[in-house]
């Protein structure tokens, strides 16, 4: 057994995000079959760029108001306690709603494949 009380909460200036985001890696794995687990701390309105995961991703909204989007579903607003299941290879983005910070628990299978910046979020 391994008990994790918190990871390194590192700011991610620039990178694949729009707005300030801090990632707290809780459990990094070396095998593609085992998921990585992290807390994403998204500040007011900050979101990821479009991306996908070869093995999929689970997102659980721990606190604040969040949002997630796909081309098929558009933007979906998220409240605390909401679970999002992104299937393997589905392009999506996620983060905080405007006017709110949001913390999401992310369980991710495979290396993240980054795409373009999320579109003007006021339009979707």
Question: Taken in order 109, 111, 112, 114, is the CA torsion positive or negative?
Answer: negative
Domains of the chain: 35-111 (2.60.120.10)
Q: What is the mean pLDDT of residues 42-51?
A: 95
- Looking at residue 121, the DSSP 8-state letter turns out to be G
Cα separation, 105 vs 59, whole angstroms? 6
Give residue-wise pLDDT tens across range 50-66. Answer: 999 999 999 999 999 99
Choose among 53, 38, 18, 106: nearest CA to 70.
53
pLDDT at 120 over 80: no
Q: Residue 119 — pLDDT band, cuts 50, 70, 90?
A: low
One DSSP character per residue, 8-42 reads -EEE--STTEES-EEEEEEE--SSTTSPEEEEEEE
């Amino acid at each position: 057994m391994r008990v994790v009380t918190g990871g390194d909460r590192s700011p991610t200036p620039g990178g694949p995000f729009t707005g300030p985001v801090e990632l707290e890696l809780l459990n990094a794995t070396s095998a593609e079959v085992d998921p990585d687990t992290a807390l994403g701390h998204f500040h007011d309105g900050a979101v990821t760029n479009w991306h996908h995961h070869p093995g999929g991703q689970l997102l659980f909204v721990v606190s604040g108001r969040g949002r997630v989007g796909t081309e098929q579903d558009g933007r979906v607003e998220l409240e605390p306690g909401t679970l999002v299941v992104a299937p393997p290879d589905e392009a999506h983005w996620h983060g905080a709603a405007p006017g709110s910070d949001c913390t999401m628990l992310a369980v991710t299978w495979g290396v993240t494949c980054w795409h373009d910046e999320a579109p003007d979020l006021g339009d979707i």
